[in-house]
Structure 1
Amino acid sequence: MTPRGTKFWNSGDIPLIAPDILGNILTAVADVGLVIAEDGTILSVLLNPAFGDRGRFESLDGSNISETLNTESREKFGRRLQAFLTGEGDVRAIEVNHLRGGGRDELPIRYSFHRIGTAGAILLLGRDLRPVAEMQQQLVSAQMALERDYEAHRDYEMRFRVLLDSATDGVLMITMQSGIITEANAALADLLDKPREAILGQTLVSLIDGRQGANLIDRLTSQALSGTSMPIEAILRGRSDTVMLRPTIFRAAGERILLCRVAAPTQPSASGDNLDVNLRGLYAQGPDSIVFTAADGTILSTNDSFLNLIGTAHDMSLRGQPLPDLLQRGSVDFKVMAENAAQSGRLRTYATRIAGDYGSPREVEIAVTRFLAGASPVFAFVIREAGRADAARDEQNDDGLSSVKELVGSSTLRDIVSETTNVVEKMCIETAIALTMNNRVAAAEMLGLSRQSLYVKLRKFGLIDRDVSD
């Protein structure tokens, strides 16, 4: 046999432990060690050096352990201690709460009961349960937060469903990455004459006529990004029904979603007097260029005719840009038109030049209307390119130049040039005064003159005291 001490663990034997290190071992495996008598009197206290509430137990020698417990723990500890003393088998560890000073805060400790060699003495090894209690509290808080989120999700889900099914227009949602329809409402199912379950999981292209479905997603995306409310027409597959698609793009959970409102086209009345449809058709297909701007000249929207006029591919590149940057005289032109339109509500005709980044300037005539869109003023510019015939007609009706031509043969070239210069200068001043509605400051700025120089020329041509706008 192996002598005792050479092989320490043999048949349940425990090696001899020196008394001076036994206390260190006990405090290492427990936070609190209490040696109590059978009546609960504390005979000795052992504390782990890392235990944070050492001061609570260091002065408990000679006191009864029940005095340090709350009411509920006293009764529970008394029953468990009595069961241990009567030898009713193995006694499970007990969790009790020690009172702090003043009895306000409590310290949870889990004690296990152990017999020691000294007669009538019991060893209690306790473990601080506060870390476990904090973890349990965190788990409870997390569970409650999950339940609140779940209830909020169910609430929003219910509101979403009610809103979706109460919409009069058909509504569908498409995941742009896959093109699959993920949501559809009852109105869309009625419009397509299909059950809602048969629509979900399909692609939008499968519902639209094949000739239009090839690039439909791209067209809907471009229309949604442009921000305009113009719908896109499409024909349902296998039917002659035409539907109007109004797209909107948003992002949810890291995916781009395309929301489409689907409706049958509005049927015009017998007289064809559907103002909204007619105006939209005029804006989209009319030959005249139409531009809407804010009060400061920032472009809000333009039609295709204006894009063709200045040679721009898409109106997205113009939105938010100042319209004066495209005019010949820039802010001077815009200021004159805006001030005149603000005074009377409209300006019938204003001649200037307009050009994009790459095209050459073109002669245009602009009509301006000012109106309120909600609480904000908006200017509508209807722009028409001036033809060569108009320029020839203007030349024929120009009496000033005709009188100059009559001087040839009767005056020297120097006199004719001098007379011509005076005629042109007078015409320019009269035109500037007329365009600015006799606003001398704006006219001087338009002509590139100082106010003093303009007044000198007005006196020279006898225009100072008469209304040249007549």
Structure 2
Amino acid sequence: MRTEQNGPADDGRRNDDVNVTRPASSGRSPLTPRGTKYWKSGDIPLIGPDILGHILTAVADVGLVISDTGKILSVLVNPAFGDRGRFEALDGSDVADSLNSESRIKFAKRLAAFLTGEGDVRPIEVNHTGTGGRRELPVRYSFHRIGTAGAILLLGRDLRPVAEMQQQLVSAQMALERDYEAHRDYEMRFRVLLDNAPGGVLMMTMQTGLVTEANPAAADLFGKPRDVILGQPMLALFDARQGANLIDRLTTQALSGTLAPVPVDLKGREQTVLLRPTIFRAAGERILLCHIETRETVEPSGDSLDQNLRGLYAQGPDSIVFAGADGDILSANDSFLNLIGAAHDVSVRGQPLPDMLQRGFVDFKVMTENANQTGRLRAYATRIAGDYGSPRDVEVAVTRFQADHAPVYAFVIREVGAGDGGRGEPRDDGLGSVKELVGSATLKDIVSETTNVVEKMCIETAIALTMNNRVAAAEMLGLSRQSLYVKLRKFGLIDRETND
């Protein structure tokens, strides 16, 4: 609709680009055919074509002025628009020539509806064909009449950011669907495993102490429906006299990594069950998993080797340590923890055993090499100490065996008292003769003789500790093999049976 705006007396121009009219005498602005108000006269100034072009490109990515036949009369492109060259090349051509086949039909129908004045014409989304290796460009156009006769203004918005966001949403939705299906699959497997477990299984959240999962076997054992057990405090299922420190006992046992169960009495029933706890973390919460066994299912026979060895390991007076070929401790019993002054086996598991021996890796190498040759070493004298305790004299027996295709060494360590006397130690030969030299020889001669005696005693001790292994003895003494053989000849020890 073309309206007038009164200007100065010497300028009677019409502004065909802006719908502006003179206000009615009643003071109210008249309405357009669409029900919107005209601007009041004087609200805005006359807008120059260059300024209007800047305004249009600021509110849209591209502006096309077309004729009623669809021919492009003028092109306005936002300076920030990346594909401005694509549209600037369309000036003077037909809009339909730049659209794909599907968009041409849509555009022709919408343009015809706009020209016939069939009410408000909704914006249209079309795809411009790609040229020169470019992809199709989706654009949303809105239709606007302008003052020039038959001219139509199309204001377009680039839909690529919207399309990319839609694609991301679709991808995210598909990923969520896949995760949901995987979750359902894992949930089904978990339920099947839980329901078909041979013994009772309970899961408890450490923060709340409430039971979160229970299988049918556990429900039968407690004599309650599964729905009743879920959500109950775990301590309510067992005897109250043992409930005060039950969680602490289970936690300690789970962290220790041992397989020994925790016996506990059921509440209101004359029955004792065995709980084997495991702690893990899921969704930021610590979960306590308990396998429940009855004594009838695990009661061993009187001569069960497995149970007897477990009892010896747990309650025996000798220290027992299992270590790998690299010297790292795999497990240790309480007697070993008492020997080195450790609080818990967790603190020593994975620690190098050679660091606790008097001669470090030399001792460990001598013991393991002898065990590799014969399968076992009966007695090896050394000293052992923890981080804070004083060294103690011990005798070590070593056994080598295979476990899961890897060698494992079992060290049975027995502390040697002051009156036991070390095995394999050299006799105190020579010290008496040195004393007899006092008064009959100079101090210099006595010191020289004493040096020879001490040197011979050290070599004999190293040979005895290494089971006559000359390589290990040389390493223990800090000598080369050649130097050791020279000293062996000097003291008449070369004829001993070697074990190189």
TM-score, with normalisation over the residues of structure 2? 0.76
Deviation for aligned residue 1:380 = 1.0
- Partner of 2:163, secondary structure, is helix
Distance 1:305-1:50 versus aligned 2 partners, 3 A rule = closer
Distance 2:230 2:198 in 1: 19
The structure where helix makes up a greater share of residues is: 1
Out of 45-54 and 151-160, give the one that drifted further.
45-54
One-letter code of the match for 1:18?
A: I
Deviation per CA, 1:279-324: give whole Å up to 9, x if none: 1111111222211122233322111122223333222232233333
1:10 to 29, 40, 47: 29
Does residue 474 of structure 2 align to residue 455 of structure 1? Answer: no
Distance 1:451-1:55 versus aligned 2 partners, 3 A rule = closer
Deviation for aligned residue 1:387 = 5.2
Equivalent position of 2:239 in the other structure: 209
Out of 73-82 and 32-41, give the one that drifted further.
32-41
- Partner of 1:238, secondary structure, is coil
Does residue 204 of structure 2 align to residue 174 of structure 1? Answer: yes
Does residue 182 of structure 2 align to residue 149 of structure 1? Answer: no
Distance 1:429 1:105 in 2: 87
Contact 1:250 1:256 in 2 (8 A): yes
Contact 2:239 2:264 in 1 (8 A): yes
Distance 1:467-1:19 versus aligned 2 partners, 3 A rule = closer
Equivalent position of 1:341 in the other structure: 371
Distance 2:187 2:485 in 1: 72
Distance 2:353 2:146 in 1: 97
1:373 to 396, 403, 424: 403
Distance 1:317 1:65 in 2: 79
Contact 2:96 2:104 in 1 (8 A): yes
Deviation for aligned residue 1:344 = 1.1
Deviation for aligned residue 1:423 = 11
Equivalent position of 1:263 in the other structure: 293
Deviation for aligned residue 1:57 = 2.7
- Partner of 1:101, secondary structure, is coil
Distance 1:233-1:62 versus aligned 2 partners, 3 A rule = same
Contact 1:365 1:386 in 2 (8 A): yes
Deviation for aligned residue 1:179 = 2.2
TM-score, with normalisation over the residues of structure 1? 0.81
Out of 17-26 and 64-73, give the one that drifted further.
17-26
Distance 2:161 2:456 in 1: 96
Aligned length: 453
- Partner of 1:243, secondary structure, is strand
Equivalent position of 1:242 in the other structure: 272
Equivalent position of 1:25 in the other structure: 55
Distance 1:328-1:457 versus aligned 2 partners, 3 A rule = farther
One-letter code of the match for 2:29?
A: N
Deviation per CA, 1:100-138: give whole Å up to 9, x if none: 326963222222233334433333333332232222222
Deviation per CA, 1:394-436: give whole Å up to 9, x if none: 9xxx9x89x99xx9xxx998389x9xx9999999877765553
Equivalent position of 2:18 in the other structure: none
Distance 2:164 2:455 in 1: 92
Distance 2:143 2:386 in 1: 93
- Partner of 1:52, secondary structure, is coil
2:343 to 300, 309, 313: 313
Distance 1:148 1:225 in 2: 36
Deviation for aligned residue 1:47 = 3.2
CA root-mean-square deviation: 4.0
Distance 1:423 1:28 in 2: 103
Out of 340-349 and 249-258, give the one that drifted further.
249-258
One-letter code of the match for 2:488?
A: Y
Distance 1:129 1:468 in 2: 89
Distance 1:102 1:94 in 2: 25
One-letter code of the match for 1:310?
A: I
Contact 1:170 1:262 in 2 (8 A): yes
Identity of aligned residues (%): 71
Q: How does 1:50-199 map to 2 (within 5 A)?
A: 50-101=80-131, 105-199=135-229
Contact 1:336 1:442 in 2 (8 A): yes
Distance 1:48 1:71 in 2: 26
- Partner of 2:290, secondary structure, is strand
5+ long unaligned stretches in structure 2:
1-5, 7-20, 31-36, 439-445
Contact 2:67 2:152 in 1 (8 A): yes
5+ long unaligned stretches in structure 1:
none
Deviation for aligned residue 1:376 = 1.8
Out of 443-452 and 69-78, give the one that drifted further.
443-452
Distance 1:133-1:317 versus aligned 2 partners, 3 A rule = closer
Distance 2:70 2:452 in 1: 125
Contact 1:370 1:378 in 2 (8 A): yes
Equivalent position of 2:3 in the other structure: none
